[in-house]
Amino acid sequence: MHVIRETWMLDTIFPARLIRAFGGSCNSMLDSIHRTELANTAVKLWHGVTGSLQRIGDSANHVYSFIESGETRYLRLISSYDRTKQQVEAELDFIAYLNRGGVSAMLPLSSATGRLIEELPLANGLLFACVFEAAKGERFSYDPATSNKEHFRLRGRTLGQLHALSKGYAPSGSFRRFAWDEDKLLLDINGFLPKSEKIVRREYDVLKERLKDYPKSSQMYGLIHGDFGETNYRYQDAQLNIFDFDDCCYHWFAYDLAITIYPHGWRREGLQLLDWLLEGYSENMQLDVKLADITMFCQWRLLYMFLVYARKWGFENLSEQQAEWFARKRENIARGYEWSA
């Protein structure tokens, strides 16, 4: 895959009023009307069907589905405030590398001008638009009444294959993906996490210092998916079709394992699920990882997700549900990540 780097400022088709409207970070600048106009402008660059646009969700970026040539495509818009163009190029390069290695990672598609990344100008930056093919298959839904052994083994095999390939990955250009402690979320923490969040800040500082001293060999550290949860793959024909690599970064491979198991640790069968996950993983990747390591990275995931929603929601004018969510997470963080007895 060749990532084209030229800048194309859409002076003729991008309305000036939108350029003025979207100054600032992506999360704060996109109201629903202007966001839809902007997405429709981007979809035209991939010859999408007018009127087929549907918003899927937004967090650090904004995702939409649309139809092109009878196929469902996914548009992602991300602000230059959150990612540099070089970081996006590195993400797409990694996806293509994994796909060549046999991982079913959903590929980006070129626009009408042959670019994988289109730049949309804003008053104080850019939006980077990418379009991806759709992942075919079914979304996994956990059913405690049935055996989930084969699914978690498959999940482990898929991660093991991804990490084994990652060990041999070198970027094909001058771009580079960020390391875990270069994550914009962590760099900006003082801008959105109040000093009154003493428990979260204390646990965050302690664990971050611990990770700085954690071993970092090529056998245990490399480019990971970064969000390998059930929303980011589909199951089809005994394989997982993976997408959403926006959080991929240089991290410990054990963290990817923690991400995928941590929502299930509270279950009575949580440790059994972890065993099945590691059984599958070991078929493609050898990793000396102990339960204490996985638990530590599950705690880091708890903290990370608290920060994600602290930046997304803030702490003023919270709904009752949001306030309860923060309260539960504070308790979990203070207690430390626990497996069901």
Q: Which of 81, 104, 133 is the last residue of a domain?
A: 133
**pLDDT band at residue 6 under the 50/70/90 scheme:** very low
pLDDT at 204: 98
Tens of pLDDT, residue by residue over 96-120, are: 999 999 999 999 999 999 999 999 9
pLDDT at 36 over 90: no
| Whether residues 200 and 125 fall in one domain | no
pLDDT at 128 over 70: yes
In a domain, 1, yes or no: no
In a domain, 5, yes or no: no
In a domain, 231, yes or no: yes
In a domain, 315, yes or no: yes
Is 60 or 118 the better-scoring residue by pLDDT?
A: 118
Q: Which residue has the tokens 């428990």?
A: 199
The CATH number for 296's domain is 3.90.1200.10
| Whether residues 155 and 269 fall in one domain | yes
**φ, ψ at 209 (rounded to 5°):** -65, -35
| Whether residues 177 and 224 fall in one domain | yes
Structural domain count, the chain:
2
Q: What's the whole-number average pLDDT of the chain?
A: 90
pLDDT at 37 over 50: yes
| Whether residues 179 and 227 fall in one domain | yes
| Whether residues 38 and 106 fall in one domain | yes
| Whether residues 111 and 202 fall in one domain | no
pLDDT at 10: 36
Q: How many helices (H) and strands (E) does the chain have?
A: 12, 10
pLDDT at 32: 63
| Whether residues 112 and 203 fall in one domain | no
pLDDT at 110: 98
Tens of pLDDT, residue by residue over 181-208, are: 999 999 999 999 999 999 999 999 999 9
Rounded Cα distance between 80 and 130, Å, is 13
In a domain, 145, yes or no: no
Contact, 44 vs 12, CB < 8 A?
no
Contact, 157 vs 284, CB < 8 A?
yes
In a domain, 10, yes or no: no
| Whether residues 24 and 110 fall in one domain | yes
In a domain, 276, yes or no: yes
> By C-alpha distance, which of 235, 14, 259, 208 is closest to 127?
14
pLDDT at 24 over 60: no
Cα 334–335–336 angle (5° rounding)? 95
Contact, 78 vs 64, CB < 8 A?
no
CB atoms within 10 A of CB 119: 18
Of the ranges 31-45, 218-232, 276-290, 322-336, which one carries the lowest mean pLDDT score? 31-45
| Whether residues 62 and 187 fall in one domain | no
pLDDT at 311 over 60: yes
Contact, 61 vs 184, CB < 8 A?
no
CB atoms within 10 A of CB 143: 9
Of the ranges 30-39, 172-181, 237-246, which one carries the lowest mean pLDDT score? 30-39
Amino acid at 307: L
> By C-alpha distance, which of 313, 81, 91, 278 is closest to 188?
81
Buried b (16+ CB within 10 A) or exposed e, 72-107: ebbbbbbbbbbbbbbbbbbbbbbbbbbbeeebbbbb
- Residue 329, domain extent: 150-335
| Whether residues 70 and 207 fall in one domain | no
- Give a three-class secondary structure readout of 185-206: HHHCHHHHCCCCCHHHHHHHHH
pLDDT at 61: 76
pLDDT at 60: 65
Tens of pLDDT, residue by residue over 234-261, are: 999 999 999 999 999 999 999 999 999 9
Residue by residue, DSSP assigns 264-286 as GTTSTTHHHHHHHHHHHHHTT--
Q: Which of 133, 159, 194 is the last residue of a domain?
A: 133
In a domain, 141, yes or no: no
| Whether residues 71 and 181 fall in one domain | no
Q: E strands along 18-124, which residues?
A: 54-58, 62-68, 71-79, 108-109, 118-122
Rounded Cα distance between 6 and 230, Å, is 35
Q: Which of 98, 133, 168 is the last residue of a domain?
A: 133
**pLDDT band at residue 226 under the 50/70/90 scheme:** very high
pLDDT at 23: 35
The CATH number for 42's domain is 3.30.200.20
Please give the average per-residue pLDDT across 75-97, as a whole number.
Answer: 96
**φ, ψ at 162 (rounded to 5°):** -60, -45
| Whether residues 188 and 260 fall in one domain | yes
Please give the average per-residue pLDDT across 319-334, as a whole number.
Answer: 97
pTM attached to this predicted model: 0.90
